[in-house]
Amino acid sequence: MAIILGLESSCDETAAALVRSDRTILSHALAGQEDHHRAFGGVVPEIAARAHAELMTPLVETALADAGMTLDQVDAIAATAGPGLIGGVMVGLVTAKALAMAADKPLIAVNHLEGHALSPRLVDAELEFPYLLLLVSGGHCQLLRVNGVGDYDRLATTIDDAVGEAFDKSAKILSLGFPGGPAVERAAREGDAKAVQLPRPLKGADEPHFSFAGLKSAVLRAHEAGRYRAEDIAASFQQAVVDCLEDRLEYSLSRIDPLAALVVAGGVAANEAVRAMLKRVADRHDMRFVAPPHWLCTDNGAMIAWAGAERFAAGLTDPLDVAARPRWPLDPDAEAARGAGVKA
Ligand code: KG4
Ligand code: ZN
């Protein structure tokens, strides 16, 4: 059995975790940086990189201490090598390289998106390849066929904003606080989802992709109209997101060969309205619905350690000069989606 140390630092969470290949999470240490970024209403890349540099080494020490282990007992060291805010990614990757060199252990460069994509398998031993994955995070909104480790077919992606980005920007427009996703979900619980008419971009379109930029603009217009409560706009926005995701998912499901499981991952997978809709869709198509627990949906070290464990088992390790990558699509063969600001 292999023990993998995983480091995550691609956005505003610094994290280190130890995971064993039998799916035991030996320890996981995490430090959010909300307080560093709150005043700016969003993640400031340079501040994030500096905070990662301060936090990473103590978190590695905490993860080892909590598991009662030393670096010698670790079989390989995995770190997010992209995609993400490059300054932060470099902090985690350089730390992993230094540890790998000092302890003479193999290095595993993990695609952050693969960390999310494989995380459901860490908590569900029955989840086998292939499965259909809705990956919804702050930087991405993609529908993927997960064929195996390092093997993905991208069926759909956003042509403009990521879904988490739409949550974050809506929270900012509505002054609901930071981080935005959970704040919108909280406000939505107190609101009426039918109160504000909002668009459902690309609903019914004869293409598989997602779009959220128009929805965000409509939230701004509704706010500026001055007639609606923030809670009602939040609830209406969340319902519009759920409707769009459901419509796009049904579009792809009606065109692909059946798959046994529908899986959700990424920060927005923590949203209860999104999870409830996905469960309904899975039931309709006789699929098993798999969602990781909330803490494993948002960025963490355990998902990187687990992706490292899966890669290690497949014999995939990386040289010490492996580069950090700001962009790193899971399916390099997928054609570019139309639109500005396209997220691979
Ligand atoms: O996966 P993640 O932690 O980081 C990225 O890789 O992007 O996702 C963060 C995103 C943010 O946009 C955050 O607002 C969103 O996930 N998020 C949520 C919820 N919790 C986090 N969105 C909606 N509802 C939530 N409960
Ligand atoms: Zn993430």
What the block records as the tokens of 44 is 């400031």
> Which residue of 137, 168, 296, 343 sits with most ligand 1 atoms within 8 Å of its CB, as the best mutation to test the pocket?
137
Question: Residue 288, exposed/middle/buried by CB under 10 A (0-12, 13-18, 19+)?
Answer: middle
Phi then psi for residue 30, to 5 deg, are -145, 140
Give the binding-site residues of ligand 1, using a 6 Å CB cut-off: 11, 137-139, 164, 167-168, 179-182, 185, 266-268, 270-271, 298-299
CA end-to-end span of the chain: 35
pLDDT tens digits for range 140-192: 999 999 999 999 999 999 999 999 999 999 999 999 988 899 999 999 999 99
pLDDT at 97 over 80: yes
- What spacing in Å lies between the alpha carbon of 297 and ligand 2's midpoint? 8
With 0.85 as the threshold, say if the pTM is over it.
yes
Peptide bond into 58 cis (omega under 30): no
Mutate to test the pocket of ligand 1, among 169, 298, 300 (most ligand atoms within 8 A of CB): 298
Q: For residue 164, give the nearest of 179, 181, 189 by alpha carbon.
A: 181
Closest ligand to C-alpha of residue 304 is: 2
Confirm if 20 and 26 have CB atoms less than 8 A apart. Answer: yes
Query: What distance in angstroms lies between residue 213's CA and the mean position of ligand 2's atoms?
Result: 20
Q: Tell whether the model's pLDDT for residue 199 goes beyond 80.
A: yes
Banded model confidence at residue 339, pLDDT cuts 50, 70, 90 = low
How do residues 12-63 score in pLDDT, each as one tens digit? 999 999 999 999 999 999 999 888 888 888 889 989 999 999 999 999 999 9
pLDDT tens digits, residue range 98-132? Answer: 999 999 999 999 999 999 999 999 999 999 999 99
Measured from the alpha carbon of residue 170, the closest ligand is: 1
Of the candidates 92, 68, 97, the residue with the CA atom closest to the CA atom of residue 80: 92
Q: Which helix (H) or strand (E) holds 290?
A: strand 288-290
